[in-house]
């Protein structure tokens, strides 16, 4: 820890921090644009000016220092509120705004724009500028990113991201001086799998997401913390939604999982949730006909009859690697205790390609919770080819899908078609629902609570953004009703209760209680969690400056 003085008050801050981070740790905001703790600091925006007295110096330096390039050290004195600093910030903001179009009313960034916010907090209330403004053109940089060059302040965060984090180097500065523009190298396109991050990094409205463009003012968005389901990495994200639609996913900082980033597969891979094709009510298919809408009791009756006729042990229960820990736990109990069947399977999206970048890895396992499934259902659970062989021996099956864009092998389709009874819980029409007698609407990851266990065995919580669609039932409720119809006596009243029970009854999940999981997750087997401390380092920075 380093003892430093900020604005006349003494603090202890973590070692090795920039003055921007250190100030954030103690709740002092130092405005900045070009600096980002995950990138090298070029100190080009000149916004984070501070009055600096190095340790042992008799007084402040003659020139203002940049907080971003100042490493805190014992005895350092920092002033962020002196007239000189205020004047320095005012001058920088006045310069930054002379060519800015001030088109906040039509800019997506308005409301979450650092230029807007810092101008409001620290800027001059008028401009002396009387000359012509530059109006460079707008341009599409890649499939997901558009640049509005008039708004760009040339902080080069985006360029440095493509150099340091993605290593793909599509972006560069072209021209010189006031003609500086961010652009792509000739013949290139900003199309790496991490490209969406430059939109988050852009402190102004220059780099915007083409996916989100003009869809909503940010202040109309509701937000919950969640976990990206597109691979086993478990990137911490914020789900932003409005009027029952997901409109944007953005990464949340977690230094042990995804840092400040997420990949484009995850970021833009939410559209299936908003699909008009989403399943909204239970459907039943008479032999050879199109499915007809029905109501839940009809299904419960049909299931009760089928179990009675075929015998519970002839039933297979297939979970999905997209189910939460809590759902998996109930599926396990349902198979073991209610149906008393050994036929337990796991459906998973096929393993894809792991993609490595200099400072980010996209996992090859395209399921969010295979780890959880294996821990809860047991290593011996039938999956992939073994799953279909197991189903070939069964007479009836209850299958949980929920995996977008899932494709089944030909053999699987034959086996499923041969079952006497097939109920499928899914969120969209799929190859599974095409073969099912009972098509049951489930919930997408933004419509449910629960936890995923990522490939590092970190249990992380999803918060529910929206109600299940139409007559859809959350899977834990569906399983509870079904269990009770089939003679069990389950009385779960919340997902939290299931999380707690899982931690108490499954040894691998010992300690993973709702309290220890919290916002940052709990690594299985890591013992008691240390008590919460005030946020440090990048966590403190992210809390102050990152969405």
Residues that bind other proteins (CB under 8 A): 42-47, 49, 62-64, 66, 69, 88, 91-92, 94-96, 98-99, 128-132, 153-154, 173, 175-180
Q: Of 100 and 370, which has the nearer Cβ to other proteins?
A: 100
In the complex with other proteins, which residue's Cβ is closer, 130 or 491? 130
Cβ at position 208, least distance to other proteins in Å: 22
Residue number with CB closer to other proteins (113 or 439): 113
* DSSP per-residue string spanning 446-508: TS--EEEE-TT-EEEEEPP-SPPSTT---HHHHHHHHHHHTT-------HHHHHHHHHHHSGG
**By the 8 A CB rule, do 160 and 42 touch?**
yes
State the minimum distance, in angstroms, from the CB of residue 44 to other proteins: 5
In the sheet that holds 522-523, the strands lie side by side as 450-453, 458-462, 522-523
- The smaller minimum CB distance to other proteins, of residues 40 and 291, is found at 40
H or E segment to which residue 543 belongs: helix 537-545
Could you tell me the smallest distance in angstroms from the CB atom of residue 200 to other proteins? 22
Q: For residue 138, report the phi and psi dihedrals to the nearest 5 degrees.
A: -80, 150
Beta carbon nearer to other proteins, 164 or 180: 180
- We find the least distance from the C-beta atom of residue 33 to other proteins, in angstroms, to be 9
Q: Compare residues 88 and 396 and give the one whose CB is closer to other proteins.
A: 88
State in angstroms the smallest separation of the CB of 181 from other proteins: 9
* Residue 51 C-beta: closest distance to other proteins, Å: 11
**Beta carbon of residue 20, minimum distance to other proteins (angstroms, whole number):** 15
Smallest gap, in angstroms, from Cβ of residue 61 to other proteins? Answer: 10
DSSP label of 210:
T
Site of tokens 């940049």: 66
Contact yes or no for 200/547 (Cβ under 8 A): yes
Q: What is the C-alpha to C-alpha distance for residues 426 and 441, in angstroms, rounded to an integer? A: 5
DSSP conformation class of 393: H
Give the torsion through C-alpha atoms of 501, 507, 509, 515, to 10 deg.
60
In angstroms, give the least distance from the CB of 153 to other proteins.
7
Nearer to other proteins, 173 or 295 (CB): 173
Comparison of 44 and 216: residue with beta carbon closer to other proteins: 44
**Strand, helix or coil at 306?**
helix
- 3-class DSSP state of 417: helix
Phi first, then psi, for residue 396 (nearest 5°) are: -135, 160
CA gap 234, 226 in Å, rounded? 9
In degrees, rounded to 5, the angle at the alpha carbon of residue 16 between the alpha carbons of residues 11 and 20 is: 65
Q: What is the rounded distance in angstroms from the CA atom of residue 389 to the CA atom of residue 415?
A: 8
Nearer to other proteins, 1 or 121 (CB): 121
């Amino acid at each position: 820890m380093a003892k430093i003085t900020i604005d006349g008050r003494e603090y202890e801050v973590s070692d090795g921090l920039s003055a921007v981070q250190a100030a954030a740790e103690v709740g002092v905001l130092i405005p900045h644009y070009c600096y980002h703790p995950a990138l090298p600091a070029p100190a080009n925006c000149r916004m984070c000016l501070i009055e600096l007295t190095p340790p042992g110096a008799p007084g402040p330096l003659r020139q203002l220092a940049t907080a971003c390039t100042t490493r805190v050290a014992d005895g350092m004195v920092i002033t962020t509120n002196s007239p000189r600093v205020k004047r320095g910030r005012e001058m920088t903001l006045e310069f930054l705004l002379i060519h800015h179009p001030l088109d906040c009313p039509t800019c997506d960034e308005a409301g979450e724009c650092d230029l807007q916010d810092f101008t409001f907090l620290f800027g001059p209330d008028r401009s002396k500028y009387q000359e012509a403004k530059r109006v460079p053109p707008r341009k599409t940089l890649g499939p997901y990113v558009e640049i509005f060059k008039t708004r760009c302040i040339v902080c080069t965060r985006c360029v440095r991201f493509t150099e340091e984090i993605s290593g793909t180097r599509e972006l560069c500065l072209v021209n010189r001086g006031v003609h500086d523009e961010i652009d792509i190298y000739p013949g290139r396109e900003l199309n790496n799998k991490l490209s969406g991050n430059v939109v988050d990094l852009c402190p102004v409205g220059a780099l915007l997401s083409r996916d989100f463009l003009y869809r909503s003012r940010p202040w109309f968005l509701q937000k919950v913390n969640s976990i990206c389901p597109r691979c086993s990495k478990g990137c911490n994200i914020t789900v932003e939604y409005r009027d029952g639609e997901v409109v944007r996913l953005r990464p949340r900082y977690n230094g042990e999982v995804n840092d400040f980033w997420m990949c484009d597969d995850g970021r833009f891979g939410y559209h299936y949730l908003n699909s008009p094709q989403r399943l909204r009510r239970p459907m039943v298919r008479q032999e050879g006909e199109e499915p007809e809408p029905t109501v839940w009791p009809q299904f419960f009756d049909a299931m009760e009859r089928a179990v009675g006729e075929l015998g519970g042990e002839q039933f297979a229960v297939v979970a999905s690697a997209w189910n939460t820990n809590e759902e998996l736990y109930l599926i396990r109990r349902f198979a073991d205790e209610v149906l008393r069947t050994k036929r337990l399977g796991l459906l998973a999206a096929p393993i894809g390609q792991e993609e490595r970048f200099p400072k980010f890895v996209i996992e090859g396992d395209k399921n969010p919770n295979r780890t959880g499934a294996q821990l809860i259902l047991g290593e011996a659970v039938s999956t992939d080819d073994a799953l279909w062989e197991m189903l070939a021996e069964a007479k009836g099956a209850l299958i949980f899908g929920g995996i977008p864009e899932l494709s089944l092998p030909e053999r699987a389709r034959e086996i499923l078609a041969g079952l006497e009874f097939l109920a499928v819980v899914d969120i969209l029409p799929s190859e599974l629902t095409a073969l099912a007698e009972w098509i049951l609407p489930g919930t997408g990851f933004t419509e449910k609570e629960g936890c995923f266990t990522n490939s590092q065995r970190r249990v992380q919580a999803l918060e529910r953004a929206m109600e299940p669609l139409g007559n859809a039932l959350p899977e834990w409720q569906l399983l509870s009703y079904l269990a009770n119809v089939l003679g069990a006596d389950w009385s779960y009243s919340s997902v939290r209760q299931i999380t707690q029970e899982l931690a108490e009854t499954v040894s691998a999940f010992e300690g993973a209680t709702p309290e220890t999981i919290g916002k940052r997750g709990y690594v299985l087997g890591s013992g008691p969690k240390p008590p919460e401390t005030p946020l440090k380092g990048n966590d403190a920075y992210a809390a102050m400056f990152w969405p």
